[in-house]
Each structure stands twice: as structure tokens, then as C-alpha cells.
Amino acid sequence: MNFPVVPLGKPRGERADAARNREQLLAAARAMIAEHGTRKVTMDALAERAGLGKGTVFRRFRTRAGIFRALLDEEERRFQERVLSGPPPLGPGADPAQRLIAYGRARIAFLLEHHAIARAALDRAQPIPVGEVAMTRPHIRMLLGLSGSRLPHPDTLAVQLTAALEGPLLLYLSMDEDAASPAMEAAHPLAESWQTLIERVLQVDLPPEEA
Amino acid sequence: MNFPVVPLGKPRGERADAARNREQLLAAARAMIAEHGTRKVTMDALAERAGLGKGTVFRRFRTRAGIFRALLDEEERRFQERVLSGPPPLGPGADPAQRLIAYGRARIAFLLEHHAIARAALDRAQPIPVGEVAMTRPHIRMLLGLSGSRLPHPDTLAVQLTAALEGPLLLYLSMDEDAASPAMEAAHPLAESWQTLIERVLQVDLPPEEA
């Protein structure tokens, strides 16, 4: 094929078919990942699979990592909806301690479930994308405030708990895929010790799988 | 000056005067930082100040960030000695909870004290250097074990507490210098909330400035 290389300019103003192309590309990417994992998803292969021009793929995602970032953004939005308006204890309605534990457990499960996409979304020329749209710190801060626990510096404590939750996962995601691929159980030890951390910080004691 | 550009190969086998050159260069760098801050420390200026050839500076540090990395390594070694064999509560001899609090307070103070060097040691082409020689995780893990507190997953809890301690500082160090330069007080709120975190995790209650 001698398709011309498209300069990586900004995408032009949204055309009428832009949203449809985007959906078509993301659906094709998801299908390719389901079949062969992330490795075979390249700009060229995605264009061919989606039946769209390479120029469309380049304008839309700019880099290979951009494909995975767009997939991860979609999943992040779905995750946020569960937190903001889904059933308790992740969603509103449960006790703040239970919600904090449920949030950490769900966040760990989310990043482990999507670890291949999140890892492929890491672009060494860019800041780590996970957490860009994340709500972790403000959500933790809000729940610390609602807990009624006397915490002298809730703002910095929220920063530290956010790092405690997200840091080990980002470290894990930045590891080599082969070193990190053993099957991820739901009861990951990070989720267990997150529960211990929150129980101790808020001085409550919940049964092991309350969340 | 038309000093030839030296290829960035590995330094040759240690010569007899290598250690002396290194000391001379680091002393010159420290003097320059004391006078004008980190900005004026360049490979050329350092060579001139130390009265050594540019080739020596390039072979020794390879990049400008390498100068600051070498300075930070020295400080890290001094910090480790205080933890391993200095007076309690940072050094051995105090209660594990007190040692954990003292370690976090000292670590925060260390990175804030050396923030200009640590920031200048960040090389965007390299992983973040702070923590490379750091002992934070194994030290926290050891003290959790010695605390006698029943913690179901001490290994992952140590990982999470390490992230809680180091993560916010690394984020701070990766910020723009001007945005981050207000005078750093000893009683930084991160140190206060670290104490709260450890007191709650280990279910102890210490006076505000025990450490």
C-alpha cells in the first residue's frame, strides 16, 4: 500500500461522521484485543480491521498508545458512573468507611482487569495516563470528611491515601508485561491491605468482604 | 574554547586520581549551588570552577542531571547511616511506631531540604532517581513486623505506606520549581498526617512532636 503519511496535526473540526468513526475504531480495537491481546493492535492493523483509512486512525489517536488511552478513558468513565450513581457500597448510600474500602477494592480490580490496556496506554514520552480523569483524591477526601473521624490534616492524608492506592498499581503497570501477567484474583492482597489501612485510619472494624 | 566533544562512553577503569577528581567536582558543585542555586551549574561551568577538563566532567557525570544525582546519592548515603546507626528515634533503639513516625518525618524533611538538588537530578529520559538507593519499603516492612500489631498483609501494606510517603514527594519534585519553592517549614503537613497515619495503623497515640 502506498497510502500517504498523514502529518500528525490536530484533528480538524468534528465532522458529522467523526463520532461514528470513533465508535467503529474502538469496537474494532476491542475485538482485536479480545482475539489476540494488545500486541497485534497497530495503527495499520486497526485501520484495516475497521475498514477505514490510515489517515483517519492517525488523526483520531496520533500514536499507538493513543488507541489504548481512548479505550481506557471509556472504561474510566464507566467506572466513575458506578461510583457517582451506582449501587452502594461503591455508589452513594453506604457508610463512608465502607465506601472508602469499596472504592479501593473496585479501583484495584478495575486496573487489574484492564491491565493490558492500561499498560499499552503508557507512552514513555507522555505522563502516565491512568488517573488523568481519575477521581481518586477528591473522592477519598470527601469520604474522610463524611466519616466524622477526627483527622488533623485530612487534605494531605487524602493525598497520602491516594498514593497508597494508586502508586503500587502504577508501579505494577509500568513493569514488563511478562513479569506481571500471572492471573489476577479478585482477592488481591493489595485490596486486603487497603481494607486494613482504611479500617485502622477510620478506627472501624468491618467483616473481611463487606465491600 | 575548542575542547573536543567527548563521546559519552563508559568511564574508563578507575584511575588513581578518579576519587580525588570526583570529590573536587562535587565540592565545586556544592559551592556553586550555595552561591547561586542549581540553575548556574552546567557541565562547562562546573569544569571551569573545579579547574578540571570538560572531558573529566563528561566522563564522570555524562549529563547535567548526573551531577545532581551524584550529589543526591551522597546525601542519601548519609541519611541511610542516620537510620541504620544514628541516635533514636530515627536510629535503632526506639519503639517501632516511634521509629516509623520518625522515619517518615526525616524522609519528608530530607527531600524538602534537598528539593532543588532532587528536582535537578530528575532527567526526563530516565526513571525518577529518588528512591533508587532508598531503603523506605524494607525499613517500613521491618518496623511493621517489629510493631507486634496484627496486620494481615504486612508486605502489601508496606508497599502502600511506602507509596503514601514517597508518592506525594515525588509529585512535588516533578512540579515546576517556581510553583513549588515557598519556604519549607519543618512541620510540613505531610509529616503531620504521616504521624496520624502510622498512629492509626499501629493503634498507638503519641504526643504531637514525639519524633
pLDDT category at B166 given cuts 50, 70, 90 is confident
Give the number of C-alpha atoms closer than 13 A to the C-alpha of residue B204, restricted to the C-beta side: 20
8 Å CB contact of A192 and B152: yes
pLDDT at B30: 94
pLDDT at B131: 45
pLDDT at A207: 67
DSSP characters over B21-48: HHHHHHHHHHHHHHHH-STT--HHHHHH
Domain ranges of chain A: 18-62, 65-201
pLDDT higher at B142 or B131: B142
Burial of A176 (0-12, 13-18, 19+ CB in 10 A): exposed
pLDDT higher at A117 or A99: A99
Distance (Å, rounded) from C-alpha A118 to C-alpha B181? 33
A6 pLDDT more than 90: no
- Residue B184 in contact with residue B78, Cβ under 8 Å? no
**CATH 3.90.730.10 corresponds to the domain A18-62:** no
The CA-atom distances, in angstroms, between A73 and each of A13, A95, B137 are 21, 28, 32
Nearest CA-CA distance, residue B7 and chain A, Å:
25
Top residue of A159, A198, A199 to mutate, by most chain B CBs within 10 Å, is A159
Average pLDDT, chain A: 82
Give the number of C-alpha atoms closer than 13 A to the C-alpha of residue B38, restricted to the C-beta side: 20
pLDDT category at B130 given cuts 50, 70, 90 is very low
Interface of A with B (CB under 8 A): 151-157, 159-168, 171, 189-190, 192-194, 196-197, 200-203
Across B51-63, average pLDDT:
92
Top residue of A200, A201, A206 to mutate, by most chain B CBs within 10 Å, is A200
pLDDT at A87: 97
- Range with the largest mean pLDDT of A61-75, B9-23, B196-210: A61-75
pLDDT category at A127 given cuts 50, 70, 90 is low
B201 pLDDT more than 50: yes
B2 pLDDT more than 60: no
pLDDT at A175: 67
pLDDT category at B4 given cuts 50, 70, 90 is very low
Distance (Å, rounded) from C-alpha B110 to C-alpha B73? 12
8 Å CB contact of B160 and A190: yes
Across B70-81, average pLDDT:
91
C-alpha cell at position B123: 532527567
pLDDT category at A208 given cuts 50, 70, 90 is low
pLDDT at A124: 60
Top residue of B105, B122, B196, B203 to mutate, by most chain A CBs within 10 Å, is B196
- Residue A120 in contact with residue A113, Cβ under 8 Å? no
Distance (Å, rounded) from C-alpha A88 to C-alpha A78? 16
Average pLDDT, chain B: 82
ipTM: 0.78
8 Å CB contact of A152 and B203: no
Distance (Å, rounded) from C-alpha A175 to C-alpha A66? 19
Closest CA to A164 of B206, B116, B142, B104: B104
Across B59-73, average pLDDT:
91
8 Å CB contact of B164 and A166: no
B175 pLDDT more than 80: no
Interface of B with A (CB under 8 A): 151-157, 159-168, 171, 189-190, 192-194, 196-197, 200-203
CATH number for the domain whose boundaries are A65-201: 1.10.357
Cell match 505522563: residue? A127
- Residue B153 in contact with residue A189, Cβ under 8 Å? yes
| 3-state DSSP helix/strand/coil % of chain B, to nearest 5 | 60, 0, 40
pLDDT higher at B5 or B144: B144
Nearest CA-CA distance, residue A203 and chain B, Å:
7
Q: What is the pLDDT of residues A138-148, one digit of tens each?
A: 999 999 999 99
Q: For residue B151, list chain A residues with Cβ-Cβ distance below 8 A.
A: 193, 196
Nearest CA-CA distance, residue B141 and chain A, Å:
13
8 Å CB contact of B151 and A196: yes
- How far from the centroid of its chain's Cα atoms is residue A169's Cα? 10
pLDDT higher at B133 or B120: B120
pLDDT category at A161 given cuts 50, 70, 90 is very high
Across B28-43, average pLDDT:
92
pLDDT category at B128 given cuts 50, 70, 90 is low
pLDDT higher at B112 or B197: B197
Between B162, B166, B203, which is nearest A200 by CB? B203
Across B201-209, average pLDDT:
78
% of chain B exceeding 70 in pLDDT = 79
pLDDT higher at B18 or A203: A203
C-alpha cell at position A148: 466524622
Beta strands per DSSP E along B55-139: none
Number of H helices, E strands in chain B: 9, 0
pLDDT at B173: 74
pLDDT category at A211 given cuts 50, 70, 90 is very low
